[in-house]
Amino acid sequence: MGERAFFRINSDPPTLVIKEVKVSDQDLYTCRVEFKFRPNAITKVNLTVIVSEAENNSIVVEMEFLLLSPTVPAGPPLILDSAGREVRGSVGPLEEGQRAHLTCRSVGGTPEPTLSWWRDGRRLKQVRNRCEI
């Protein structure tokens, strides 16, 4: 994905943005909250890209969310849509070329937890405030 995807770590909440979604972006993404003295918390989102039957054969995106609720003192990580609403089930469709905003938020925790995005069991590379896919 290169520069099409980035992680806004300093935004509130930190957000994974995928610009110009492509079929090759289809995968399972993981938001992981890491605590120093508590178990990590994980939420997963499955990004599904579907080629529509429209005249222009544009690509649309559906996201199916699986929320895992770990037992941690801080709030569990939530995945939010671009309007800041918690997503349960699916969101979309999006046409190819649009941005997919995946926001992971966890409230509370002392010391402050670390949020990160994962794909295929690998942590996504973070460059400044962006995450490369």
**What is the mean pLDDT for each group of 10 consecutive residues in the chain (133 residues)?**
76 75 83 80 79 52 42 63 76 76 72 74 70 56
CA–CA gap between residue 122 and residue 100 (Å, rounded):
20
- Predicted confidence at residue 23, as pLDDT, reads 80
7: part of which helix (H) or strand (E)?
strand 5-8
Contact 7, 129 (CB under 8 A): yes
pTM above 0.85, yes or no: no
What pLDDT sits at residue 67? 39
The domain tally of the chain equals: 1
Residue range(s) defining the domain that contains residue 7? 2-132
| Type of residue numbered 40 | N
* Three-state SS at 2: helix
What pLDDT, on a 0 to 100 scale, did the predictor assign at position 114?
73
